[in-house]
Amino acid sequence: MPRNLYGADHEAFRKTAREFVERSLKPRDEQFIEARVIDREAWTEAGKQGLLGLEVPEVYGGSEAGDYRFNAVLGEELSKFNAAASSCFGIHADCVAPYLVDLGTSEQKERWLPGSCSGQIITAIAMTEPSGGSDLPEPWIRPLSWSRSGEGSTQVGHAGTPGTVLVMYGRMPPVKDWECFVVGTFASTCTRSRQARFPGWLGLLQMRSASRLTR
């Protein structure tokens, strides 16, 4: 069905996104599936093409498109490759970046946003304890609990490659309200466990779009 949602600028951006998929993702498809990771080279190439900073001001290396239709175009083209790519880049560029832009201090923005736009920094979201799984809406999931000394653990919903900057939600006793934290995994107080091998993640890497959208 013909669509009139997009204009010439959006279609020009679609060409850039499509070329990125053809050049940087499709040739390494089996490699991603085998490793269950979208490698860092793909991220830095996306950064070079200006695909990671659509929600970020130009002063921090983004394009600040100010039009979510560009994000939608990118999501469509990535989804045609596989479901994982759309999810991964969406978490990074559509979810985490706006948190940093809207809530971060000037120092935090200067520290993390340029790398986020270039692909040198890969962001992630952490919202449940390891035993909670990834089904966030379910009421049986316990909130992430942290002590004032910083002790705690969490399960991370990452962007296809282990994240280097995490946006985390949790509660720090005695406060009962949810709070938002930003944690650099390179910090000495942050350690990684092994990467969980979720069957669902492998499925996303293998899932191809069943249909093609008509422009």
- Distance between CA 36 and CA 51 in Å, rounded? 22
Q: Where are the domains of the chain?
A: 8-206
Question: What are the distances in angstroms from CA 33 to CA 25, 73, 156, 183, 202?
Answer: 11, 24, 19, 28, 7
Over residues 4-50, the pLDDT tens digits come to 899 999 999 999 999 999 999 999 988 888 887 888 899 999 999 99
In CATH, which superfamily holds the domain spanning 8-206?
A: Acyl-CoA dehydrogenase/oxidase, N-terminal domain (1.10.540.10)
Lowest mean per-residue pLDDT among 6-15, 53-62, 135-144:
135-144
